[in-house]
Chain A
């Protein structure tokens, strides 16, 4: 009789928010300090219920603002607990002061970002202006397409961030409402397998040591500040190698490859779209449709945004003849952020790249619009102006 290989996962209907909470639970997060903000609230609510039900041994701190959420996370991470939070939009903006402190203090705090537009005008819907706002903060940044990726990358992220050589905070993005609230079939892996993957936690500081007290967070003047920042830079530059290492380990559990970006039917593509998060899912449908018609189209979906893998992106896109980059945020008065990085990656090539901005404030993008992008690329309709998919 054929022996059936036992699955190490269970498929559950889950929203991205719930899946994120599962990840936090399996990582064994010990302190979550958070403040609710639509559409992140399902994450913190689910986690709070898990704590109440005794499914995870953790403390939650229901702080009085997001600034305090990150502040308490800093305190908790300094003291040596596995610390996480979630936020987006105005919350991320409000805590942004302390977001920079977290990376400056080299604390492996995990944050789930449920991408939502920044005010004003106030919007509760999805775009990437919030996470783009803190792209210079020194946090590792990873973007995800759906609930399954959100769940998996949160786990992988924590492991990468808490490696001693890195010791930097990390944020994992998923589209607000789109990925966070829609029900998907999510494969939740075995608790023990994930716990073993996470392993023993390396606290960055031995703070609660009665015999050897330390100061965390000195005041640096001209003679040391540069070197502190350079040290952060060196740490984040080690991320790609550690990412690859931990991706290999994680694959042993999930059977999947985790790369800096996903290449979808890109190998022999003449034209390609570069886009992050849920829209990549829609774009894959369009790629399949056009491929069925014989069109050589492909997709590149970045995961790792900070540090940005310039070399690897250049290698992946070098054979493509024409590229469109779809940004879900503006950098007012300048090139959109994803475009700027892709453009930099391909500096020195002559590949024409068309910049697009779409989806601001939750504006939906339809398959026919993405088809139009490919059609325009094919016709060579490329210039140096930003095109808007409204």
Chain B
């Protein structure tokens, strides 16, 4: 069953839910380099929607190993590439290969964290992209450590009791040359960051806000709106950390109250009735925004 030769880095015919932003994120990022790309992916939404035999949506060389080792797998590919290049065993054009690992928040914050941490610490030359949809969505919306506090998931039916892990702070602690937080609604911001990441010597990390239709509970058409609201309420600021220096890359012209974001998704329904809970979320968002502004060089 040979597929048409196509130049798309991610072909049509993905099994993603209607309104899922993951293919948008992947296509926009992969388009930021002309070099040939090899990717690894963690088990998760992206992987199952693009690789069910015999349907391969990938237009770049890609490998799926397991759930928790996308970063390690690509570090093996990258190292092989290094030694094969040294030995003159690569075919023409292959010296230029760039390496990307894709994982959801599960494969990045939780089960895949060790693998990511190790690969970054070893300074492999690769970009790690996390599409953060706030829970283990592929398996039906079970909580992850990326799930915001209070959110109802299948395994936190009364609302998650702990706050979300600050993945950017954790990765910043690895002294990596470039990492950035982005979101799907702001593509011009995302592509600038992706381009920077591809040009980085060493490891880079992109954490991309990725709303989930069935998991968060909203109508498919609102994916981009919800991402924008996350930005406008400072629930999900857009910034980068380049050689340890923080920089906010986009600021909302008018900062909206976090309620505007929360009320758009069923996963927050029960919290909206609780004034105290909403106030806590607002305080946390405000503190985070203030802290970010203090650290930001712009």
Q: How far is the CA of A80 from the CA of B79 in the complex (A)?
A: 11
* B63, A30: Cβ atoms closer than 8 Å: no
B64–A63 contact, CB under 8 A?
no
B76 lies within 8 A of A208 (CB): no
Chain B minimum-CB-distance residue to A28: B87
Interface assignment of B60: CB less than 8 Å from any CB of chain A: yes
B62 contacts A71, C-beta separation under 8 Å:
no
Among listed A210-218, A238-246, A358-366, interface-contacting one: A210-218
Of the residues B58, B64, B80, contact of A79 by C-beta under 8 Å: B80
With a cutoff of 8 Å between Cβ atoms, the chain B residues found around residue A87 in the complex are none
Contact (Cβ within 8 A) B121 A207: no
Q: Which residues of chain A are within 8 angstroms of B118 by Cβ–Cβ distance?
A: 63-65, 68
In angstroms, Cα B93 to Cα A108, docked, is 25
Chain A interface residue bracket vs B: 35 or more
**Which A residues lie within 8 Å of B132 (CB)?**
none
A217 to B63, CA, bound (A): 6
For residue B55, give the distance in angstroms from its CB to the closest CB of chain A.
8
Whether the Cβ atoms of A72 and B73 lie closer than 8 Å is yes
Q: Specify which of A31, A74, A210, A213 is in contact with B62 (CB 8 Å cutoff).
A: A213
Is there contact, CB below 8 Å, between B76 and A210? no
Could you say which of A54-62, A155-163, A183-191 contacts chain B? A54-62
The answer to whether A215 and B73 touch (CB under 8 A), given A64-B121, A79-B38, A79-B81, is no
C-beta contact mask, A195-231 vs B, less than 8 Å → 1, else 0? 0000000000001111101111111110010000000
Q: Does A81 contact B (CB under 8 A)?
A: yes
Determine the chain A residues whose CB is within 8 A of the CB of B63 once the complex forms: 74-75, 78, 207, 215-217
Residues of A within 8 A of B75 (CB): 61, 63, 72, 75
Interface contact B115-A68, CB-CB below 8 Å: yes
Whether A125 is near chain B, meaning CB under 8 Å from some CB there, is no
Question: Of residues A31, A62, A71, A78, which shows the largest number of chain B Cβ atoms within 10 Å of its Cβ?
Answer: A71
Q: Is the CB of B114 within 8 A of A219?
A: no
Q: Would B69 and A98 count as touching, CB distance under 8 A?
A: yes
User: Known contacts A30-B87, A75-B40; is A101 also within 8 Å of B65 by CB?
Assistant: yes
Asked, given contacts A31-B79, A78-B77, whether A64 binds B114 with beta carbons under 8 Å apart, the answer is: yes
Q: Mark B45-74, 1 if CB is under 8 A from A, else 0.
A: 001100111101011111111101100111
Complex CA–CA separation, A207 to B121 (angstroms): 26
* A115 sits at the interface (CB 8 A): no
A33 at the interface (CB under 8 A from B): yes
B122 within 8 A of A: yes
- Does A83 interact with chain B (Cβ within 8 Å)? yes
Knowing A61-B75, A217-B65, A219-B64, the reply to whether A31 touches B47 (Cβ < 8 A) is: no
Q: Which residue of the partner chain, among A71, A80, A97, A209, contacts B80 with CB atoms under 8 Å?
A: A80
Q: B279 on the interface (CB 8 Å rule)?
A: no
A208–B79 touching, CB < 8 Å: no
Closest to A220 in B: B53
Q: Does B82 contact A (CB under 8 A)?
A: yes
Instruction: Quote the shortest CB–CB distance from B292 to chain A (angstroms).
Output: 30
A156 to chain B, nearest CB (A): 24
Determine the distance from Cα of A74 to Cα of B80 in the docked complex, in whole angstroms: 10
In the assembled complex, A76 has its CB within 8 A of some CB on chain B: yes
Tell me the chain A residues, 21-79 only, with Cβ under 8 Å from chain B.
Answer: 30-31, 33, 57-59, 61-65, 67-68, 71-79
Asked if B187 is at the interface (CB within 8 A of a chain A CB), the reply is no
Smallest CB gap from A68: residue in B: B72
A213 to B, closest residue via Cβ = B61
Are A71 and B51 touching (Cβ within 8 A)? no
Residues of A within 8 A of B54 (CB): 218, 224
Q: Which residues of B contact A77 (CB under 8 A)?
A: 76, 80
Residues of B contacting A214 in the complex (Cβ-Cβ under 8 angstroms)? 61-62
B91 on the A face (CB < 8 A): yes
CB distance from B203 to the nearest CB of A (A): 14
**B174 interface residue (CB < 8 Å to A):** no
List chain B residues, Cβ under 8 A from A63: 72, 75, 118, 122
Question: When the two chains form the complex, which single residue of B36, B64, B76, B93 contacts A217, counting CB atoms closer than 8 Å?
Answer: B64
Residue of A nearest to B9 (CB): A213
Q: For B84, what are the chain A residues with a Cβ–Cβ distance below 8 Å? A: 30, 79-81, 208
Would you list the 8 A-B pairs with minimal beta carbon distance, nearest first? A75-B76, A81-B80, A64-B118, A72-B76, A210-B36, A79-B80, A217-B64, A71-B69
Q: Which residues of A are interface residues toward B (Cβ below 8 A)?
A: 30-31, 33, 57-59, 61-65, 67-68, 71-81, 83, 97-98, 101, 105, 207-211, 213-221, 224
Known pairs A72-B75, A72-B79, A98-B66. 17 more at Cβ < 8 A? Answer: A30-B84, A31-B76, A63-B118, A68-B69, A75-B76, A75-B77, A75-B80, A76-B77, A76-B80, A78-B77, A79-B77, A207-B63, A208-B77, A209-B94, A213-B60, A215-B62, A220-B52
A-B contact pairs, 8 of them (CB 8 A): A31-B83, A64-B117, A213-B61, A215-B63, A217-B51, A217-B63, A217-B65, A219-B51
